Structure 1
Amino acid sequence: MDLGFEVVDFAESDHVEPGEQAPDFTRPLVNDEYWADASLSELAAENPVLLVFHPMDGDFPATYIWQEVRDRDWLEYDAQLVGLSISTPYEHKEFIREWNGFDEFQFFSDPANSVAEEYGIVHDLDGMAGIAEPKPAVFLIDEEMTVEWAWVAETWPDFPPYDAIEAELAEL
């Protein structure tokens, strides 16, 4: 079966695990109206955060991930849904504008990919020297900044276990 793309195995990662402290960071947080610097700890102090690392905006896995999240209506749960990628705030604004229903989400912008480094989920893009992005990953972080649940992709493309995430959100 010709998929039209190559499946790539990721190198094993030493990522943040459940029970460990989530690395805090401050980056531009983009919504449908504006963006401003925000820290993960500020968000987590209000409600648990479901932090979804995804490929750059416009890449089909990023679009697919957020369409699935939108269609499952995870906004009904007691957690803040926040994306993070190497895309700039301008690219996030376009991503939100382009897709119906994405205006309910917020996205951290991390063009240097340093947050993915802190979380242990960096993926060097093949054939592009010095260019990296986060592996697809999901971390559920509580108000004390403890990782309650985590998933990190093992291949590209790989998609989060949506049913398992939904079960974790339902437990909140």
Structure 2
Amino acid sequence: MKTLKSSGAPLVCWDIYGSFMKDQTNLINKQNDLEVLSYLKKLNRWKTDIHSIVDQVHYDALVLTDTKQEIKWISKGFKQMTGYSIKNTIGRKPKFLQGKDTCPTTLNFIRRMLREQVPFSAKLTNYRKNGEAYHCQINVIPLKNNQNRTTHFIALENETQYNR
């Protein structure tokens, strides 16, 4: 039996391959998100250019709500970020992610912006299914139909570092 002798150097090619596979997985997930959102755009007659939103902005997770803030759809990244599956999420309001360290001032700002139906960004503390807190940067965009009426909101979410 032959034995391979290690040079002691790390397997850099595995690092490169792992990075490549992560990028490919993200690309496939983004394409899946676009397919679902394109279908929903057609169904709801949104005039908003979904492709430009998803293509131009980096996100870890997507959340689609109606105007009552009930979640209608989440991306795969949402489960990875929060631990909550689609089954645990659909029909709920994003409020279930908030907890003791979620800033009330930020929540008031978010409520005001949703009422005004304008795009906005905010950073807040949310909580995973296991109870762990994390910072989340959200970029929310109202989705308007052909009559210029907001029917849904899409939130592009990124987990960020704690800045205290």
TM-score > 0.5, shorter chain as reference:
no
TM-score, structure 1 normalization: 0.29
TM-score, structure 2 normalization: 0.30
User: Bigger relative contact order, structure 1 or 2, given CA contacts below 8 A and separation 6+?
Assistant: 1
